[in-house]
Structure 1
Amino acid sequence: MADTSTIHIIDDDSAVRESLLALVQMRGLTAKAYSSAESFLTALKPSDTGCVVSDVRMPGMSGLQLLEKLAEAKSNLPVIIITAYADVPTAVRAMQAGAVTFLEKPCNEADLIEAIQQALNLEQAQAALRKQKSDVENKLTTLSEDEIAVMRKMLEGLPNKRIASDLDIGLRTVELRRSNIMKKMGAGSLAELVRLALLVDFFKSEEKA
């Protein structure tokens, strides 16, 4: 868990809010509390990491509406929904809207802490994947158009001689460009290059091109 991860607790009931805040902080986690979804959204920054623990029924914006707002903002924070009025339709709506967990009040402390830890692990895994994708996309920008053309053929599984024939270039040129591609992309094998291409949907982008 990253030291900068924060548990954002949202509940209009001050007693519940303070109780959850104390519980989370007792576990050594950083937490902030908000009395409404609106106040949380006002304070939210794009760089914020961690997760959200939100009540469903609140004056003004509900927990379900908050999920919609976070989705519109393309927030990467996992959301745990808690409610004293648990029912199947609400739980289904919450999960469909992107909640990672739905818990009934009063929350079992162990269940809540476990849900928070799972949410933090998910957020970190997604952050790592986003960084990896960004790194691959940056590496792709270092390839020349000629190298991209060779890379397309490589990803089709074609041998160097066939690539040279298809692109009307010399075999040595193919070998040099292939070597440059592998170095620039940081790939140790063709299988690794394929994995990197899949990571950034390279094949789909090529279909649209």
Structure 2
Amino acid sequence: MRNKLGLPPDYNPCVYIIDDDESVRSSVESLVECMGFTSNSFESAESFLDQTDPDICGCIFTDLRLLGMNGLELIKQLKVSGYHAPAILVSGFLEVPLTVDAISAGALSVLSKPYPEQDLWDNIIAAIKHDSDNYIARKWLDETEKKMATLSEEEKIVMDLLLEGHANKKIAHSLDVSERTISMRRKTLLEKLGVDNIVELAKQKTKLELLESQLNSSVIIDPNTELESERN
């Protein structure tokens, strides 16, 4: 299943099952095992939050009706606590307002009980693929932001002016330095960012801003997917 989904080698997803019914937990665990993934079960939302960290990978399967915090409240808390893993909410009393609230709160999908096993299978696959795409995006962002952080203030200023379309000579004049100094700063910043020219720098900066926006809105673009400008 990992190879079929094209999951990164360093991405190890787990399905987190939250249900106060032991038979349900056992049933979902068996399905997850058949899929080739690991699982971790909890009988309450509180125990899940106490025993996991926000940087978990995979997906979260939670019933709506739980003792203590319910599934919808949990999904809202996930966002507050900084969890990235997508959630699947299940309920035997599913109504349109609940579905809308759950999706608005951050649930990736909502299933009505009783659900066909294939539906749960498909939803878990979709959730793990979604989380994998998020993982790739966050990793690319982290690596790119670390490169950006190595730039000196002078190099950042030159980068911004270059991205605005200014030539070395004009930048040198506006900063009251020699054109050779600008050429050296330009060369250094391109090397630090791992790009060969200003066109590649512009694409990298655009992708960085786009991915940040998409991550914040929970709609993720795979950073390996070329932007339209990269195809032209």
**TM-score > 0.5 by shorter chain:** yes
AA aligned opposite 1:172: R
Q: For residues 11 and 117 of structure 2, what CA distance do their matches in structure 1 show?
A: 22
SS where residue 7 of structure 1 aligns?
A: strand
Q: Aligned runs of 1:1-209 on 2, under 5 Å?
A: 1=7, 4-201=12-209
Question: What is the deviation of 1:121?
Answer: 1.3
Aligned AA (1:74): G
Q: Secondary structure at the match of 1:100?
A: strand
2-structure distance, mates of 1:22, 1:3: 21
State whether residues 54 and 82 of structure 2, in contact with CA within 8 Å, keep that contact through their aligned partners in structure 1. no
Once the two structures are TM-superposed, the CA of residue 85 in structure 1 deviates from its matched residue by: 0.8
3-state secondary structure, aligned to 1:57: coil
CA distance in 2, matches of 1:33, 1:134: 30
- Structure 1: stretches of 5+ with no match in the other structure: 203-209
Native 8 Å contact 2:55 2:84 kept in 1? no
**What amino acid is the match of 1:130?**
R
Q: Is the 8 A contact 2:57 2:131 kept in 1?
A: yes
The number of residue pairs the alignment matches comes to: 202
In the superposition, relative to structure 1, how do residues 60 and 101 fare at CA in structure 2: closer, same or farther (>3 Å)? same
CA RMSD, aligned part only? 1.7
For the Cα contact (< 8 Å) 1:24–1:31, is it kept in 2?
yes
Give, in whole Å, the separation in 1 of the partners of 2:149 and 2:104.
36
In the superposition, the TM-score normalised over structure 1's length comes to: 0.90
Give % identity: 37
Deviations 1:164-190 (CA, angstroms, capped at 9, x unpaired): 222122222211111111100111232
* Equivalent pair of 1:133/1:199 in contact (CA under 8 Å): no
CA distance in 2, matches of 1:59, 1:175: 65
Task: Check the 8 A contact 2:89/2:107 in 1, yes or no.
Answer: yes
Residues 101-121 of structure 1 show CA distances to partners (whole Å, capped at 9, x for unaligned) of: 111112222221111111111
What amino acid does structure 1 have at the position aligned with 2:61? V
Q: Which amino acid aligns with 2:90?
A: I
Unmatched runs of 5 consecutive residues or more in structure 2:
1-6, 211-232
Quick check: 2:59–2:87 contact (8 Å CA) kept in 1? yes
TM-score under structure 2 normalisation?
0.81
What SS class does the counterpart of residue 107 from structure 2 fall into?
Answer: coil
Runs ≥4 residues deviating over 4 A: 199-202
CA–CA distance in 1 between the matches of 2:143 and 2:12?
22
